[in-house]
Amino acid sequence: MPLHYPRMFSFLLAGTALCAAALTDPVLAAAPASIQKTTAHKPGALVASAPLADPLGLPDAGRSLRITYLSTNGITGKGLVPVTAEIILPPGPPPEGGWPIVAWAHGTVGVDDSCAPSLNPYSDRNSAYLSTWMKRGFAIVATDYQGLGTPGTHAYLDTRVEAYSVLDSLRAALSSVPDLQNKIMIVGQSQGGGAAVATAAYAPTYAPELDIRGTVATGAPYVTPELLGGLLKAAARPDAGYSPLIDYVFYLAAGLEGHDSRFRPEQAFTSKALAVYRNAAHECLTTLSRQTKDAGLTLQNSLQPTFLKAMSPALQAMTFPTLKLAQPLFTGTGTEDRDVPPPLQLGLVKAACAAGSTVQAHLYKGLDHSQTVNASLPDSATFTTAVMSGKPVSPQCTPIPQ
Residue 6 lies in a domain: no
In this structure, the answer to whether residues 275 and 381 fall within a common structural domain is no
In this structure, the answer to whether residues 34 and 118 fall within a common structural domain is yes
Q: What is the mean pLDDT of residues 214-240?
A: 84
Q: How many CB atoms lie within 10 A of CB 395?
A: 14
Last residue of a domain, one of 317, 352, 378: 317
In this structure, the answer to whether residues 209 and 233 fall within a common structural domain is no
Write the CA distances from 9 to 259, 312, 315, integer angstroms.
7, 13, 14
Least confident of 4-18, 118-132, 281-295: 4-18
Q: What is the mean pLDDT of residues 172-182?
A: 97
Say yes or no to pLDDT of 153 above 60: yes
Say yes or no to pLDDT of 165 above 90: yes
In this structure, the answer to whether residues 194 and 250 fall within a common structural domain is no
Say yes or no to pLDDT of 21 above 70: no
Least confident of 12-16, 33-37, 285-289: 12-16
pTM for the model stands at: 0.90
Write the CA distances from 249 to 292, 298, 317, integer angstroms.
12, 11, 14
Question: What confidence score (pLDDT) does residue 15 get?
Answer: 35
Q: How many domains does the chain have?
A: 2
Torsion, CA 110, CA 113, CA 116, CA 119, rounded to 10: -140
Question: What confidence score (pLDDT) does residue 231 get?
Answer: 78
Q: Domain of 341?
A: 14-222+318-388
Q: 165 and 143 in contact (C-beta within 8 Å)?
A: yes
Q: 163 and 134 in contact (C-beta within 8 Å)?
A: no
Positive or negative torsion for Cα 146, 325, 331, 100: negative
Last residue of a domain, one of 299, 317, 335: 317
In this structure, the answer to whether residues 45 and 163 fall within a common structural domain is yes
In this structure, the answer to whether residues 180 and 241 fall within a common structural domain is no
In this structure, the answer to whether residues 166 and 280 fall within a common structural domain is no
306-330 confidence digits (pLDDT tens): 999 999 999 999 999 999 999 999 9
354-375 confidence digits (pLDDT tens): 999 999 999 999 999 999 999 9
In this structure, the answer to whether residues 285 and 217 fall within a common structural domain is no
Say yes or no to pLDDT of 388 above 60: yes
In this structure, the answer to whether residues 232 and 145 fall within a common structural domain is no
Residue 116 lies in a domain: yes
Residue 395 lies in a domain: no
In this structure, the answer to whether residues 148 and 289 fall within a common structural domain is no
Last residue of a domain, one of 291, 317, 343: 317
